[in-house]
Amino acid sequence: TKKEICKLFNWSEEVPIVVIFDHSYLDGLYRSGRTLFKDNLQWIRATFNKIKKINNVNWIVKNHPENPYSLQKALTDTEQEFARAFTHEKHIKFFPKNLSNKSFPNIISLAITGKGSVGTEYSSLGIPVIITNKAHYSDFGFILEPKTKEEYFNLLENINKIPSLTKEQINLAKIFVFLEQDFF
């Protein structure tokens, strides 16, 4: 529950929780077109740098499920980047490996990803999602798609002002997930 995660991290329950879903740094980033950052590593580093200064949000960083297995090929991973970026920031935590992220839909206010399946999964549950790259579900009206780095950073700075998804947006996301899973 949100109460339990806040107790674990010593956070106030009144502050929104946002999860950043990182990517494998060996992912096929360039297949989808528009990107705000050169690659996934540049994206996560810039995001980490920005959220250090945003104290009115509690942040959870979740590594890509593939990261522990791709480390032999990659020079770094989410956990290493997290350790480099943060030392004493109490409002930013790395998601513990011994917990399940199945409770996220009940505790988080917003999700952030480059272009992963998080965009459809969480939107269909009514949770706003920010993506920074063009995705196969772009332009369907149920995710936040900043067109510039400045717009992205502005969204991060104003997360508390981002409204919940409308019923129409949730339905669009659900329709997309249904069509994607049943017909593609």
CA distance 48 to 92: 9
Angle 12-167-32 from CA coordinates, rounded to 5°: 85
Predicted pLDDT of residue 122: 96
Q: What is the pLDDT of residue 11?
A: 97
Q: How many CA atoms lie within 13 A of 27 on its CB side?
A: 23
pLDDT in tens, 80-99: 999 999 999 999 999 988 88
pLDDT at 114: 86
* Mean pLDDT confidence for 38-65: 92
Dist CA 120 CA 173 (whole Å): 6
Q: Among 1-10, 33-42, 99-108, which is the least confidently predicted range?
A: 33-42
Picking from 78, 130, 135, the residue whose alpha carbon sits closest to that of residue 108 is 130
Task: Supply the pLDDT for residue 136.
Answer: 87
Tell me the one-letter amino acid at 137: Y
Does the structure show a pLDDT above 80 at 127? yes
What span, in angstroms and rounded, lies between the C-alpha atoms of 70 and 78? 11
> Is the Cα torsion angle 132, 136, 137, 138 positive or negative in sign?
positive
Average pLDDT over the chain, rounded to an integer: 89
